[in-house]
Amino acid sequence: MSETSTSLISTYLDIALLAARAGGTVLSSYWGKQLAIAQKGRSGDLVTEVDKKSEQEIITVIKRHCPDHGILAEESGINGSQNHQYQWIIDPLDGTTNYAHGYPQAAVSIGLTINGVPSVGVVYNPMKDELWSAAKGLGATLNNQKIRVSTTDHLEDTLLVTGFAYDRRETPDNNYAEFCYLTHLTQGVRRAGSASLDLCELAGGRLDGYWERGLKPWDLLAGVVILKEAGGKITAYDGTEFDIDSGRILATNGIIHLALMEALKNTPHSPAFSFHN
């Protein structure tokens, strides 16, 4: 990467940090208060006034500094004219259900693609005062300290994380069997409820592997940049190239990637794991 492009991408990272802190201020100000909560469609898919106000603050910051850039945000969708060279992808509150219940695993997530390449990622959990950030070629940090993925090299020694999509009650493709099977093969599997933070904690070495289905680009983009810059590996379930629009991700420290991929492939499925109607 040239000096000029490094300088430019560093500038965009600074803008993302400003925007994340603006959104995080909203999350902090409403934390612990009575919230107006609605469901967006499926049962459990919540939205609050905090999601919307956080998103407004984030977009205001980005538009101030990058008025010609494209924006895709979870709550408001496509915002303004679309610039396919520079595309900001925003989740103003990843982990809304956690936040609404007073469980402090929730974050602002802001990513930027440049010419379609994930290039900047910032994930901010103001409740824990943890600011994760990265830019392509510049490494990844947690609160300005460099981070790297774990060195765990055997599946039986790993701590994994996953999640369950909002349509889990309606489809047999619900991740229950994989969760149970990998719980037996590893030291444990967590379900924390925030995809962006799952990727960040994998990047920081707290976790060793992650897989999930039913995700949206705003759930993933920022965390993907952070994990890659921390040395992690990301693919589709079968090891082919990761497609953010597929909604599926397999992410690891790189060392256990093949083992986790094989375990997912060999997961036994039975009616006991299917709870849909």
Does 117 share its domain with 192? no
Distances (CA, A) of 257 to 101, 154, 158, 206: 34, 10, 11, 16
Query: Do residues 187 and 258 share a domain?
Result: yes
Task: Give the residue from 146, 164, 198 where a domain finishes.
Answer: 146
pLDDT band at 39 (very low <50, low <70, confident <90, very high): low
Mean pLDDT of 230-253: 97
Among 211, 200, 246, residue whose Cα is nearest residue 94: 200
How many domains does the chain divide into? 2
Same domain, 9 and 119: yes
- Look up the CATH number of the domain holding residue 236: 3.40.190.80
Same domain, 12 and 127: yes
| Greatest mean pLDDT among 25-34, 79-88, 142-151 | 142-151
Q: What is the pLDDT of residue 3?
A: 47
Residues 233 and 134 in one domain: no
The CA-to-CA distance between both ends of the chain, in Å, stands at 52
Once rounded to an integer, what is the mean pLDDT over residues 244-251? Answer: 96
All residues at 6 or more sequence positions from 25 whose CB lies less than 8 Å from its CB, including other chains: 57, 126
Boundary (domain end) residue, out of 146, 163, 191: 146
Structural domain span for residue 242? 155-273
Q: Are residues 32 and 130 in the same domain?
A: yes
47 has a pLDDT exceeding 70: no
In this structure, are 11 and 138 located in the same domain? yes
User: Do residues 104 and 9 both lie within one domain?
Assistant: yes
Half-sphere exposure of residue 118: CA atoms within 13 angstroms, side-chain side = 25
Report the phi/psi class of residue 199: left, alpha or beta, with left for phi > 0 and alpha for psi in -120 to 50: alpha
- Give the pLDDT score at 180: 95
Tens-place pLDDT, residues 143-161: 999 999 999 999 999 999 9
Which domain CATH number covers 43?
A: 3.30.540.10
Asked if residue 162 and residue 131 are part of one domain, the reply reads no
- Residue whose entry in the numeric block shows the structure tokens 């802001």: 110
d(CA 218, CA 94) in angstroms, rounded, equals 9
Which of 120, 146, 172 delimits the end of a domain?
A: 146
In DSSP terms, 125 is beta-bridged to 130
Residue 229 has pLDDT above 90, yes or no: yes
Same domain, 131 and 225: no
Cβ–Cβ < 8 Å for 179, 209:
no
Residue 185 dihedral angles phi and psi, to the nearest 5°: -90, -15
- Could you please report the per-residue DSSP string of 169-231? TT-S-SSHHHHHHHHHHSSEEEE-S-HHHHHHHHHTTS-SEEEESS--HHHHHHHHHHHHHTT
In this prediction, residues 104-112 reach a mean pLDDT of: 98
